[in-house]
Structures are given as structure tokens and as C-alpha cells.
Copies of this chain bind each other. A is one copy, B any other.
Amino acid sequence: MSKRNAILAAATRLFARNGFKETSTSELTKITGAAGGTIFHHFKNKEDLFLNVLKDVETTVTSAFRELTERHRAHPGMDQVEHAVISYLQLAANFEDQFLLLHRHYPYQVAETNADCRRSLESVYNCLLEIFEGCIRAGIKDGTIQTGSARSTAMIIFAMVDGITRLHTYNIYHAGSLYNDVIQSCRSLLAASASSGANERTGKEGTWPV
């Protein structure tokens, strides 16, 4: 493996597990065997390294999620949602560091001032939400799902599933054993007619407000 890739891999793990500020370049040199100067030969500074890590996370997560879900396009909408939820939980388990990084506060803080960072995060969440939304929309069409706004419901399903993975990550309760209940809850939520429709008009807005 090239030093560049070794640095990227180590940075991904350390940024995710220990945080950006608490990861020193000297720690990266120890793990990768690269010299201090090599890091700054490939990346202009530490923040640039972080942005490259995030870019990798973006492509890894989005392509993996797309690949896992696209095979079920022909199934009934309700089953598609269930499969998407299971896929998301699998993904979070297989790409632990990537999801840990996305669950940290730091990327969103950087996103406030850095357009590249904001774009990477937008890309991830747009991908995830679009897929959930697509499954729900299919379910509405084929009659397996009754709900007001597909977009709003996708947000809620996503918040639920992502919330569970967070609880699992932080060792709060044995959240990993809740997966069956999560899926059952999704089905209940989608089968019942949510009549509020308070946000149907916003269903077509972009994912990020400003």
C-alpha cells in the first residue's frame, strides 16, 4: 500500500475513534511508518487530510448502500423499506469507522465554513434519504404503504434507524438486539395511515435548508 493510502486509512480510523483534534500527526507517523513530512507532501494540511478522508467515506458509504439496495427495486415497496433498513444496519456494522465519523460533531462544524465538507455530507444524506424515499414512494404506488409525505416519512425512518445505531455505538442498552423490533416498528409506521400531512408541501425541498 502506498504511504498516501496508509495515511488515509490510519486517519480514517483515528479521526473516527479518537477525533480530529485528538489525533496528532506524530501518531499517524508511528502507525503508518511514514515521516512527518510525507503527510504534508500528500495533503496540504491536517484539515485537507480530513476532507480527503470524508470524501472517501462519502464514496464508500453511498456506493455500498446503493449496491445493497438496488437489487430489490422490483419487490413490493414495504419489503423494499425493510430491506433498506436491514442494509443500513449491516452497513453501519461493516463500516464502523465511517459511520463513527459521520456521527461525530466535527464534520458538521467544518461544513459550516467549508463548502467541500458540506458537499460531502450533503451527498451522503441525499443518497441515504433518496433511497429510503424511493422505497416508500414505490410502496405508496403499489399500495403496500399508506403515508402522507414520502420525504417526511423517509426522514423519520432514517432518524429512527440511525438513532438506534448511535445508541448501539455508544453502548447504551443492548441496542443491537433491537433490530427485529426496529423493522417491526417501521412496518407498523408505514402500514397505518399517517393522516397529518403537515409537511406534504415541503416534500420536494432540498435536503439541506441553507
Instruction: State the CA gap A129–B121 with chains docked (Å).
Output: 30
Q: Is A155 interfacial (CB 8 A cutoff)?
A: yes
User: Are the CB atoms of B173 and A199 closer together than 8 Å?
Assistant: no
Q: How far is the CB of A161 from chain B (nearest CB, A)?
A: 8
Among the listed stretches A3-11, A61-69, A136-144, A184-192, which one makes contact with chain B, having 4 or more residues with CB under 8 Å of it?
A184-192
Q: How far is the CB of A167 from chain B (nearest CB, A)?
A: 6
Among the listed stretches A25-33, A46-54, A72-80, A101-109, which one makes contact with chain B, having 4 or more residues with CB under 8 Å of it?
A101-109
Instruction: State the CA gap A180–B103 with chains docked (Å).
Output: 25
Interface on A for B, CB 8 Å cutoff? 18-19, 21-22, 100, 103-106, 108-109, 121, 125, 129, 148-149, 152-153, 155-156, 158-164, 166-167, 169-175, 177-178, 180-185, 187-189, 191-196, 198-199, 202, 205, 207-210
Enumerate chain B residues within 8 angstroms of A121, measured Cβ to Cβ: 172
Nearest 10 A-B pairs (CB), nearest first? Answer: A159-B163, A163-B163, A188-B192, A180-B198, A160-B160, A21-B21, A184-B196, A108-B170, A152-B181, A159-B164
Q: Which residue of B lies closest to A124 (CB)?
A: B172
Enumerate chain B residues within 8 angstroms of A193, measured Cβ to Cβ: 188
Knowing that A156-B178, A160-B163 touch, tell me 12 more A-B residue pairs with CB under 8 angstroms.
A18-B109, A19-B106, A103-B105, A105-B105, A125-B173, A152-B178, A155-B167, A156-B160, A156-B181, A173-B207, A174-B202, A184-B194
Name the residue among A100, A171, A183, A193 with the largest chain B CB count within 10 angstroms.
A171
Q: How far is the CB of A126 from chain B (nearest CB, A)?
A: 10
Name the residue among A108, A109, A174, A182 with the largest chain B CB count within 10 angstroms.
A174
Q: How far is the CB of A78 from chain B (nearest CB, A)?
A: 13
User: Are the CB atoms of A205 and B174 closer together than 8 Å?
Assistant: yes
Q: How far is the CB of A18 from chain B (nearest CB, A)?
A: 8
User: Are the CB atoms of A158 and B149 closer together than 8 Å?
Assistant: no
Instruction: State the CA gap A167–B161 with chains docked (Å).
Output: 13
